[in-house]
Structure 1
Amino acid sequence: MDVPPSDLEGALREMLSRRAAVPRPVTADPAGAAIRRANRIQRRRTLTGMGLAVATIVAVGAGNLHLRDDRPPTGGTVVIGDPDLPPLVKSTIPPPGPDTAPPIAEVDLLIGGSIATAQGRRVPLHGTGTVERAHRLTDGRGWLAISAPTLAGRFLWAIAADGTAQVLLAGADEIALDEDGRQVAWKQGTVLAAAGIVNGELAAIVRAEAPVEAVPLRFVNGAVLVRLVPDDPGHVLWSPRPGPLDPGGDRASSHIFGALPDGRLVGGVTPGAGLPACLTLLDPARDLTPVRPECGPELLGDGRGAVSPDGRWLLVNGRSAGEDSALLVDLAKLDTSGVRPAGPAMTGTVVWSAPDTAYYAAANGGLVRVAVDQVAAGRRAAPTVLPDLPAGELPVVVSGG
């Protein structure tokens, strides 16, 4: 009713006064009591309505949180990373819609601040800075990205399908991901740590004490490969457990490129002072002792390389005909007869998209696709010029997917 409360009170008082049959003055005020009772009822109704509104807001908020677990966020970031790290200011940059273009390659690429997917989408990144390595999640919900070193260290970002990003880890000296994007290892000062990645969060963090110089490189058969000193030979496999890192007895391996299906590692060893490293297989159960051959083909490159998913091939930087080159090595032979020039020298990360196909970036910014059958037939791969690549930048080949 559109009647002012004062008018209602006046009318009620007048009605009750006319009905009063008591000739003497009474101490009680029936009209005032009725009004006070009506006010109490109104207050209860108001509180009840406010309670229902709050309950509705909470229910809707809970529903939104549940939906955020099932769908990529549409804006903003949430810092989840190491609980010992200080929180960062979250970004609220709204992402534009992705564009669609013809696919460039069979793998995702980072080009000029956006991801060019193998399906032809362009996904701009927001607030991540320069990304040095990236991994596509197998469930199709986005990517994990490792930043280039900054004054604050490296960052691990979880990037949603629309390009919005949230920090999973900040301030690390080095970060390594496993091949499925489900585990991460990092080094921060003298702390070596590893964790699982579950629903966009770090889970079951394990920390160990390690020398300041030690850095995690990659996951090998569930263990973390750690280089003890960056510029000296020597590695150790760390099965994540708390306590001091056991440095092991390996002081000869110069580089490790991956594992064979039987668990042996493909790496280079330094046979002696002043001698070039050579390719061999290493036994992880015996402190990475060379098992066959003790010293195979020479490794004259910078140590970039990776083993194919089936363990048959190694693509590695080396020298051919007196110039830097990517080399394809037949690991079934592991001698000079199984080494062929594959293309220009690699920069960044080499990614095997299939057991017989690899991608990497060349020094001139081109993308190189290495097909094993073509290299075996004597045809070197040539770089392809990428569209929209800013001058002076190199593409980043995204692993996984």
Structure 2
Amino acid sequence: MSAFPGQPDNLTDGPRRSYQVPPDELEGAVRETLSHQVALARPLGVDPAGQAIRRANRIRRRRGAAGLAIAAVATVLLSAGMAQLGAETGRDGTPIVVIGDPDPSGRPIPTASVPGAKPSSGPSAALLGSETLVSADGRRLVLPDVGPAERAQLLPGGGGWLVVSTQTTAGRFLRVVQNDGLVQVLLAGAGAIVLAPDSRQVAWRDGGDLLVAGVVGGQLIGAARTAVPTGAMPVRFVGDSVLVRPDPADAGHILWRPGTGPLTEAVDQKTVNFYGGLPDGRLVGQISNDPGRTCLAVLDPTRHLNPVETGCGPDLSQDGAGGISADGRWLLVNGRVGKASRALLVDLRRLGSNPTAVAAGPPMTGAIVWIDESHASYLDAAGELVRVDVGRVRAGKPASPAAVSDVPAGDRPVLVAPF
């Protein structure tokens, strides 16, 4: 119907539109619509890649915070400690304690290489450094990325090694080398470094001070410090105390228990060297009696290192090389038979009755490792391994050195306990 008669209605009149669509055109329109929808990039409800990146960032932030926390705790403990620390010493220079990196993800992991041994997850399969460790039973372990080592000890539980470097122009370094190849520097630029037999404590000289700290989780914890005379050096641990030699040029030692006050004056004026301890806690050492003559002695650490038994038969050298069997009966020590320098075997049970010494092999250098009550090993001056059988030595058959296989020329092995 039109509002104006006689004029056509533009909504109803005019050309009519056809609503009939051929099937092929309808199909083509549907295909085109679907293709546009597929080509259109729509956001995903779940983004796995984004989640992984965010998770990695959170882990990195937590690791960073954990590393800072460990560094802060260790720094506080090392600066507060159990005795006079930090500013009280008044020493110059940067601290020698280095906090280890708690995140091993950025470190290269070396591969295992133990010639003649099957791969395993223990320390014998870990590649440690540029020198060679030789166990008392003859196994060889090569060390990279650590530098020349002077001593090495297994960590508690066998998770790696504590490695003491040789003396350098920058001092000595103490490193933790884990079985997965991670290397952490615990000390840098230290003087003499002494490790407890169980590897849970370390003592070292830093300038005019002697420090002792625990080794926990690849960190130095609870350091105690005391001033020491010029030239004084830690010698060994005796329980929780440290045996200190005030002057290497003179006889005499001091026992210092960390956290109990400063180092006292030398209470012992006769001891020259110490070779180890007996099962009852007493020590065996070398004392100076008459000028130019030294004797073996059993000393009591609870009585100011007073000798309780002596024996002056063997002709002993004064190089300090020696070691005692676990049962406390046998001592291997350097000395002389006539004019020849030899390693000597001494029966400590006969110490008080002018003991005689039996030639056990060529002179010793470095550590002596007792495998059991009647078998020991050491290295001679040429770096060859000498295995001592007490029964054969007593029968007049001294041990002979044997070359350690596959040791690079000029590389001196370091003897360690069996691994």
Question: TM-score category by the smaller chain?
Answer: 0.7 to 0.9
Percent identity (aligned): 42
Letter of the aligned partner of 2:195 in structure 1? Answer: L
Q: Distance between the aligned counterparts of 2:111 and 2:415, measured in 1?
A: 23
Aligned partners of 1:258 and 1:266 also within 8 Å: yes
Structure 1 residues 217 and 315, CA, compared in 2 at 3 Å: closer, same or farther?
A: same
Report the alpha carbon displacement of residue 110 of structure 1 after superposing the two structures with TM: 9.2
Equivalenced residues, count = 346
> Does the alignment pair 1:171 with 2:189?
yes
Report the alpha carbon displacement of residue 321 of structure 1 after superposing the two structures with TM: 3.1
Aligned partners of 1:301 and 1:319 also within 8 Å: no
Aligned to 1:71: none
Report the alpha carbon displacement of residue 332 of structure 1 after superposing the two structures with TM: 0.4
Aligned pair partner of 1:333 in 350, 375, 385: 350
Aligned to 2:213: 195
Larger deviation, residues 359-368 vs 55-64: 55-64
Q: Distance between the aligned counterparts of 1:337 and 1:117, measured in 2?
A: 31
Aligned partners of 1:271 and 1:295 also within 8 Å: no
Aligned to 1:13: none
Q: Distance between the aligned counterparts of 2:202 and 2:129, measured in 1?
A: 24
Aligned pair partner of 1:323 in 330, 340, 350: 340
Aligned to 1:288: 305
> Does the alignment pair 1:101 with 2:132?
no
Aligned pair partner of 2:320 in 277, 292, 303: 303
User: TM-score w.r.t. structure 2 length?
Assistant: 0.72
Structure 1 residues 115 and 254, CA, compared in 2 at 3 Å: closer, same or farther?
A: closer
Unaligned runs of 5+ in 2: 1-36, 68-73, 80-94, 118-122
> Does the alignment pair 1:85 with 2:65?
no
Aligned pair partner of 1:247 in 265, 272, 280: 265
Structure 1 residues 119 and 300, CA, compared in 2 at 3 Å: closer, same or farther?
A: closer
Aligned to 2:147: 129
Q: Distance between the aligned counterparts of 1:362 and 1:353, measured in 2?
A: 17
Unaligned runs of 5+ in 1: 6-41, 69-79
Q: Deviations over 1:223-276 (max 9, x none)?
A: 21111111210111111126421123211111111111222210111113x322
Q: Distance between the aligned counterparts of 1:294 and 1:122, measured in 2?
A: 38
SS at match of 1:99: coil
Structure 1 residues 54 and 266, CA, compared in 2 at 3 Å: closer, same or farther?
A: same
Letter of the aligned partner of 2:332 in structure 1? Answer: L
Q: Deviations over 1:190-231 (max 9, x none)?
A: 111111111111111111111121111111233211111112
Q: Distance between the aligned counterparts of 1:395 and 1:287, measured in 2?
A: 37
Structure 1 residues 115 and 336, CA, compared in 2 at 3 Å: closer, same or farther?
A: same
Aligned to 1:377: 395
> Does the alignment pair 1:211 with 2:229?
yes
Larger deviation, residues 81-90 vs 223-232: 81-90
Q: Distance between the aligned counterparts of 2:344 and 2:139, measured in 1?
A: 32
Q: Distance between the aligned counterparts of 2:217 and 2:133, measured in 1?
A: 22
Structure 1 residues 228 and 116, CA, compared in 2 at 3 Å: closer, same or farther?
A: closer
User: TM-score w.r.t. structure 1 length?
Assistant: 0.75
Aligned partners of 2:313 and 2:356 also within 8 Å: no
Report the alpha carbon displacement of residue 346 of structure 1 after superposing the two structures with TM: 0.5
Q: Distance between the aligned counterparts of 2:62 and 2:358, measured in 1?
A: 58
Structure 1 residues 169 and 86, CA, compared in 2 at 3 Å: closer, same or farther?
A: closer
The CA RMSD measured in Å over matched residues stands at 3.7
Aligned partners of 1:110 and 1:395 also within 8 Å: no
Q: Deviations over 1:100-148 (max 9, x none)?
A: 4226xxx989996244568998654333211011112241211111001
Q: Distance between the aligned counterparts of 1:285 and 1:119, measured in 2?
A: 36
Q: Distance between the aligned counterparts of 1:165 and 1:309, measured in 2?
A: 32
Structure 1 residues 110 and 225, CA, compared in 2 at 3 Å: closer, same or farther?
A: farther
Aligned to 1:359: 377
Q: Distance between the aligned counterparts of 1:396 and 1:308, measured in 2?
A: 20
Letter of the aligned partner of 1:309 in structure 2? Answer: A
Larger deviation, residues 132-141 vs 339-348: 132-141
Aligned to 1:113: 131
Aligned partners of 2:246 and 2:266 also within 8 Å: no
> Does the alignment pair 1:312 with 2:326?
no
Structure 1 residues 95 and 291, CA, compared in 2 at 3 Å: closer, same or farther?
A: same
Q: Distance between the aligned counterparts of 1:329 and 1:246, measured in 2?
A: 33
